Structure 1
Amino acid sequence: MAIRQLRTAFASQLQPGQPARLSAGPALAEPGGDYEALHKQLKRLFNAKPGKGYGRFSDDVATSPFSAWLRDYLEDKQGFEALTDRLFGQWQELLTGCQEEYQGHLMLVHEALADSDVAYLFVLETDSALRFDANQALDGTEVLSLSRLNLALRIEIDAWLGNGESDNPLTIIRGRGTGEPGELFIQLCGFTNQVDVEKETLTFMDAVEAFASQSDEPEKAGQYRARAYDFCKEQHALGEPVAIDALSGYLDEDRPEQFKQFASQEQDLPENTVLHPDHRKVKKLVRIAGSGGGMSVSFSSDLVNQAVYYDRENDALTITRLPKALKEQLKWYLEEKG
């Protein structure tokens, strides 16, 4: 990992109706170890954050000109400092009209990877901390949070400029509770959502379940479901979508073409399909769970119709082969009641 350019600015709007304040730092080319470490941690938070959005830049550059400024920078029509001057200036204008109090750091990073370039726009949060000053008196201070990230944008530069295969080169995080500043951040980025994550999650699960169900071997079917979930979870950790072609090779290394051919023929999913499933919901492929009314039930999906039977007409669940610990608790409870 190597940071080509980085710049930060601190903005505050503590009196709605008054101009927001902004103080920018210098543009840093290849800033070095401490910044690299901070960026690495922010990327970890970014990749681990659930509920991300996927899309592209809005065509309305009059309202959201960031994409035009970024393109000019990448085409050497302006420097990084000029790009960030414009970006920070717009952020200050947007916050001036904000009716909520706000303060925080905005950081733009241009990162060069081995095979592509990526840009990140982070809103950094702070935590309160205590320290002893020179007179050994407690003093309150603010430090950067290394555990929270609620507003951020990632731009796959090659994919955006047409050198990649992705139709959705932008990935965005907007956490709950970000309110109006969160809306203004979306406007600053010029982000347009193009992916229905819930729909793609169902598409992914339906395809995997149909493929697993065609197997005559229950153990093999369970392995397909488990590997599909593991692959989805690994891709989420990397901050990457799920490509049907790559998933096919992962599900069955001996027959890497099998799943993608099945998905293409039976599920109308072309072999070059890329999906963005929510890994939390995909877990239902391997684990069925629910709670309510004083009851909590969880079991492997492989046990359905093997040790767990559901009667839809009577809405009843029959469980055989009870775990030893559960049987002992039941016996003790019934003996005590008896």
Structure 2
Amino acid sequence: MAKKFEKIGENLEVKNIVIHQLLKDAGNRLVNPKAADNLLTIGEKEKTFLGNLDKSYHKKSSPIYGIFAEENPKFRDCLIDYINGDCQFYDFSINVMNHYKIVLENTVAATGGYMIICEYRNIITSNDLLLILMINNKEGFVIDEKSLTLDNIKNLDLSKVDVACLINLTEWVNIENNLPSERKTYLSFVKGMKEVSYYFMSFIDVDNKNTSTESTKRLITAIEAYADIEQWDRNTKINKKNKVFTYCHDCIDNKKEILLSTISSILNPDNPEHFQDFATEEAYRVSEIISGDKVRMKFLKTITYSDKEFKIEFDTKLILDNTIVLDGSGNKLTIKNISPILRDKIKELSNKNA
């Protein structure tokens, strides 16, 4: 029987935590770094802190998934040095802080804050993890600004964090060495008070820098274009889009990766790679691993309503592009760009009743 964990964080083996500070205001390039003197001493406060963060992180519904790219491998190189034992965790954290300092200096719009780096192991899954998060601490709690230690940790969750990145070190090693793995990615990003910024993803050097909203929008655009090329009739199109929606929705709910290859086989089971090749072209640039936006995914659905007097059916994308607009009172539905045939039929009836 699996061990039951009663306390928050009891399922985690906390190895290292460190807090550094990088002060920067949006609109300038000046960054003032302040490195911690040493790692935090791991006690109950630190275990509870990380337990709350880990729990909150895995509750987020729309993470961005990815792997390391080859554009700016500085962070990955620092991590490799640490994993290989070429440096201690504290030295690794200093190298990471200095790397992020350069990224901030090159990004005028970026803001600084506190960088918290945590290394731990999930006892249940046997996965080694590295969590990196930025927090602004404007409310003056969570972090003691002088000592760079944890202060008040009550009610801490990701709403008080700017952005966070979780690296599954175990999956990273497995994937890099072509060992059996349940996933194709080992990096994930979630937003707290801010959207996951391009510069933060560039700092980690993830291959997929699209937000979940942008990633989902590209997928839907590609599906619509593919349906036109394949000349699906309306029922076929609705059926296939509903299947894709169900698959994506289940992946998001169960914290699984949305795979373009699976969607491709759903849309064209006779030629399962056809849509994948189509969607990855320059015009659509859909990623192999899609970060799903649960709200945006609803645009794959079709809205149908009928009563005794009329029936209406339309794709939800028409709401997205403002072809169909519901007014502020919620009692008036406007349909734009109607076909000439429909327009003429309505005019004809209107003239007869004049």
Matches within 5 A, 1:41-52: 41-45=56-60, 47-48=61-62, 52=64
What residue is the counterpart of 1:21 in the other structure?
Answer: 34
CA-CA distance at 1:11 after TM superposition: 0.7
What residue is the counterpart of 2:203 in the other structure?
Answer: 188
What residue is the counterpart of 2:340 in the other structure?
Answer: 313
Q: Which runs of 5+ in 2 are unaligned?
A: 1-10, 142-151, 279-286, 303-315, 328-334, 347-354
Is 1:13–1:19's contact at 8 Å kept on the other side of the alignment? Answer: yes
**Secondary structure of 2:319's match?**
strand
What residue is the counterpart of 1:290 in the other structure?
Answer: 319
CA–CA distance in structure 2, aligned partners of residues 116 and 232 of structure 1 = 25
CA-CA distance at 1:229 after TM superposition: 1.6
TM norm structure 2: 0.56
Change (3 A) 1:260 1:43: same
The amino acid across from 1:70 in the alignment is L
1:232 corresponds to which of 240, 248, 252:
248
Change (3 A) 1:44 1:178: closer
Change (3 A) 1:165 1:48: closer
CA–CA distance in structure 1, aligned partners of residues 269 and 66 of structure 2 = 26
**Secondary structure of 1:232's match?**
helix
CA-CA distance at 1:202 after TM superposition: 3.4
RMSD: 5.1
Is 1:200–1:275's contact at 8 Å kept on the other side of the alignment? Answer: no
Change (3 A) 1:81 1:27: farther
What residue is the counterpart of 1:86 in the other structure?
Answer: 95
CA–CA distance in structure 1, aligned partners of residues 192 and 225 of structure 2 = 28
**Secondary structure of 2:77's match?**
helix
What residue is the counterpart of 2:308 in the other structure?
Answer: none
CA–CA distance in structure 2, aligned partners of residues 201 and 44 of structure 1 = 25
Change (3 A) 1:21 1:245: closer
1:152 corresponds to which of 140, 164, 170:
164
Q: Which runs of 5+ in 1 are unaligned?
A: 131-140, 249-256, 298-307, 320-338
CA-CA distance at 1:101 after TM superposition: 5.8
CA-CA distance at 1:69 after TM superposition: 2.0
The amino acid across from 2:90 in the alignment is E
What residue is the counterpart of 2:77 in the other structure?
Answer: 68
CA–CA distance in structure 1, aligned partners of residues 202 and 106 of structure 2 = 13
Fraction of identical pairs, as percent = 9
Once the two structures are superposed, residues 276-295 of structure 1 have per-residue CA deviations (whole angstroms, 9 ceiling, x without a partner) of 16443331221425286994
CA–CA distance in structure 2, aligned partners of residues 318 and 29 of structure 1 = 75
**Secondary structure of 2:256's match?**
coil
CA-CA distance at 1:233 after TM superposition: 2.3
CA–CA distance in structure 2, aligned partners of residues 317 and 4 of structure 1 = 71
CA-CA distance at 1:214 after TM superposition: 6.9
Change (3 A) 1:165 1:316: farther
More strand by share: 1
Is 1:126–1:145's contact at 8 Å kept on the other side of the alignment? Answer: no
Matches within 5 A, 1:146-295: 146-157=158-169, 158-159=171-172, 161-163=176-178, 164=181, 169-173=186-190, 182=197, 185-193=200-208, 197=215, 198-203=217-222, 225-243=241-259, 261-262=269-270, 264=272, 267=275, 274-276=288-290, 278-279=292-293, 280-287=295-302, 288=316, 290=319, 295=325
CA–CA distance in structure 2, aligned partners of residues 277 and 96 of structure 1 = 28
Aligned residues: 278
1:56 aligns with 2:68: yes
The amino acid across from 1:106 in the alignment is I
1:123 aligns with 2:134: yes
The amino acid across from 1:37 in the alignment is N
CA–CA distance in structure 1, aligned partners of residues 228 and 159 of structure 2 = 35
CA–CA distance in structure 2, aligned partners of residues 25 and 5 of structure 1 = 10
CA-CA distance at 1:242 after TM superposition: 1.8
Matches within 5 A, 1:99-138: 102-112=112-122, 114=125, 116-126=127-137, 128=139
CA–CA distance in structure 2, aligned partners of residues 86 and 230 of structure 1 = 43
CA–CA distance in structure 1, aligned partners of residues 153 and 48 of structure 2 = 22
CA–CA distance in structure 1, aligned partners of residues 193 and 345 of structure 2 = 39
CA–CA distance in structure 1, aligned partners of residues 323 and 182 of structure 2 = 48
Once the two structures are superposed, residues 121-176 of structure 1 have per-residue CA deviations (whole angstroms, 9 ceiling, x without a partner) of 2213446389xxxxxxxxxx997554254422233443452435877543445789
Is 1:41–1:146's contact at 8 Å kept on the other side of the alignment? Answer: yes
Change (3 A) 1:38 1:166: closer
CA–CA distance in structure 2, aligned partners of residues 268 and 98 of structure 1 = 34
Change (3 A) 1:106 1:265: closer
The amino acid across from 1:202 in the alignment is T
